[in-house]
A and B are shown apart, each in its own frame.
Chain A
Amino acid sequence: MTPVTPNSFASGPPALIGLGPIAWAKKNLFSDWFNSLLTLIIVAIFSWGLWRLGSWALTMAQWPVIPNNFGLFMTGTYPPALYARIWVLLAIICALAGLSWGVLARNVSILFSRNVRLGLAAIGAFIVLFPPTRPSALKLLPLVALVAAMAAVGRQGGRRFPGVGKWISLAWFLSYFVALWLIGGGLGLTRVSTNDWGGLLLTLLAAISGIALCFPLGLLLALGRRSALPVVRWLSTAYIEVVRGVPLVAFLFMGQVMIPLFLPVGSRPDRVLRAVIALALFSAAYLAENVRAGLQAVPRGQREAAMSLGLNTPLTLGLIVLPQALKIAIPAIVGQFISLFQDTTLLSIVGLAELLGIGRSVLANPAYLGRYAEVYLFLAVIYWVFCYAMALGSRKLEEKLNTER
């Protein structure tokens, strides 16, 4: 019996937030006999599944296939002698990520809050406990430290120079080309044929390039479909409807197999490039519909008000309509990006050694025959991490842009 003060009777509706764990469970899980039964059954099924998975992972699974082929999963058949270039690229990305984080969080009182410290410690502990291969684990730790250090720098810099944000955007933009240069070589570096780009490297590169290409194209198509000019409108609509009626695999096969037949002898674009373009052209049609939904959600009054202020059409679009439409469409657009990221797995069907494709090659190695469960579980975790990160990012962006609070 807990002593009850008379005051608590008079305090209106019960506060839900302060519910203790037992009370919470009682309210949500065991409110009547039926719910209790359901809870017990589901808990039993889940724990049985987890138990089976755990005992498999700890006793039956043979994990060496992952660390022994870690380089393959990350970069495919990229020459190991040039891995240093990938590390440099990783360092640049870590530094930029840390800097952006610091600048974005410049107004937060404590940069390294308890959750962040816990997260960093968890990543560090993970690297030390499960080193993919020893030397690379040693290189990963400084990278984590680099992110933290650049975050601190970014926070200070962000406070002193409030306009630094656009320079960081520019740096990200330029880093894309630096990445292509570091990966592919040329201009003083040894060339690496796109044929040797593979693994997670190719997956990410294809996804990022695809997203960067499909966004502007999708935007234009969406605007075109709502244009007052009939030819533009018809062409945009036709493009969107045709592309949405064709499966992506067919699109990729056309890119890999058909296009070389149409092009004149000697001018044959690179295979990776063809695949990226096919991905982007495909996603653009879906993206256009997402953006169009956003455009339709912007009230007519906004446009009319802009017109009455004397803004011309491009300015109305750029300053009034698009910012609002894109904000509304963020969840759908990010959903499209996530699905584009997952669609890159189809590149393995057209013979590019991206993450799933290189997994197939590793599984064909006689030393690792039959290690399907381990490899596919590992790949699933990688895909989940990236997709969840994108979803998390979109949620933060939505919160940041939410002006109706």
Chain B
Amino acid sequence: MRKLGLLAAALGLTLAACGGTTTTATTGGEGTTAPVAGKSRLNVVKERGKLICGVDGGIPGFSFVDESGKYSGLDVDVCKAVAAAVLGDPEAVEYRRLDSTERFTALAGGEVDMLSRNTTWTINRDTQVGLEFAPTTFYDGQGMMVRKNSGIDGLEDFEGKAVCVETGTTTELNLTDQMRKLGVNFEPVVFQDADAAYAAYDEGRCEGMTSDKSQLVARRSTLPNPDDHILLEVTMSKEPLGPVTVNNDSAWYDVVKWVTFGLFQAEEFGITSANIDTFKGSNDPNIARFLGEEGTLGTDMGLNNDFMYAVVKNVGNYGEIYDRNVGADSQFKLERGQNALWTDGGLMYAPPFR
């Protein structure tokens, strides 16, 4: 009898397995994001009542999970801005964590509505992979960190010296290209893992450490004496990072694009989440159009006319987002640099809202 019980148990497990599948399938309620032929993603998002946004989930300052279990960071705030514009609620976002290898397939397959995941805009991705790049929200570039007292002022001083770098990334290739151009014989010390690379730099195995500048600054703050390290005034590559949507859906791409531009424009107008209500009823026709009190800028796109009011009120303008996550109000204290408005000598420029 006992042995029959064993067989029954095995059978039961099979049944459990089948039962398990159906139960899990039904619990994944919001999981379906299937594109419907001929229907813009904009309508899909509106009907679903939730934006599905692909993020990395593990980049300091850009996307991480805070102590209360909420996603935060610069990339995450872009998702929130789009959700506020389309749905009026910045929290109506479901975040999907995507690896760098699966992000484009996930976007093309309709797993996510948009990517906001430190994606560099390149011609190949734009034309061959079938993506649409919304305006860049963060201009990054590969930099080099050295010790202040090392006497190194530029890449030329690396003759015969060691540089720590992660293997298999474009970072490594960029470094080799730059050094070859300058004819400098340096010694690359490659690591599989970023943590190991920074630890080796900290122990003094290399004179220099190279990576994206934003990451170098973030990591510098974790070194024992952050003030002993400086970033050289060199930029080895251009890394324009921004939100991405899929090709052939202009209505949806326009929304993501103009919400991003709106963040810049709000800063240019001086509109912040705190003072936005004082701009209501403004005499400036540009601001009145921007906030949807005049004209039909929002409804023309298939949004509420005051979509930018919802965005700035809930998420803030670009300057607020930047300062909060990576700039002056964060622990990274990144300079605005290229990420300043065009009026301040930066690259952030929005075409006119009219």
Contact = CB atoms under 8 A, between A and B. Distances in A.
Given A318-B3, A366-B60, A361 B65 contact: yes
B36 A265 contact: yes
Contact of A364 (B23, B36, B63, B109): B63
B30 interface: yes
A269 B27 contact: no
A266 B73 CA distance: 31
A372 B63 contact: no
A295 B64 CA distance: 49
Interface residues of A, number: 73
Interface in A276-334: 276-277, 280, 318-320, 322-323, 326
Interface stretch (A23-31, A103-111, A113-121, A253-261): A253-261
Interface stretch (A4-12, A68-76, A226-234): A68-76
11 contacts: A76-B65, A166-B5, A186-B27, A213-B20, A216-B14, A270-B31, A357-B57, A362-B65, A364-B65, A370-B222, A370-B223
Most chain B Cβ neighbours within 10 Å, of A78, A195, A366: A366
B222 A369 contact: yes
Contacts of B66: 365
Nearest to A361: B65
A176 B16 contact: yes
Interface string A155-191: 0000000000010010001001100110111100001
Given A257-B109, A277-B21, 12 more contacts: A216-B14, A261-B105, A268-B111, A269-B28, A270-B27, A273-B25, A319-B7, A322-B3, A326-B6, A349-B99, A351-B96, A361-B65
A269 to B, nearest CB: 6
B69 A180 contact: no
A173 B12 contact: yes
Nearest to B37: A265
A256 B102 contact: yes
A213 B6 CA distance: 16
A351 B28 contact: no
B24 A212 contact: no
A213 B10 CA distance: 11
Interface in B60-77: 60-61, 63-71, 73
A46 B41 CA distance: 60
B332 interface: yes
A131 interface: no
A360 B218 CA distance: 15
Interface in B326-354: 330-332
A370 B7 CA distance: 51
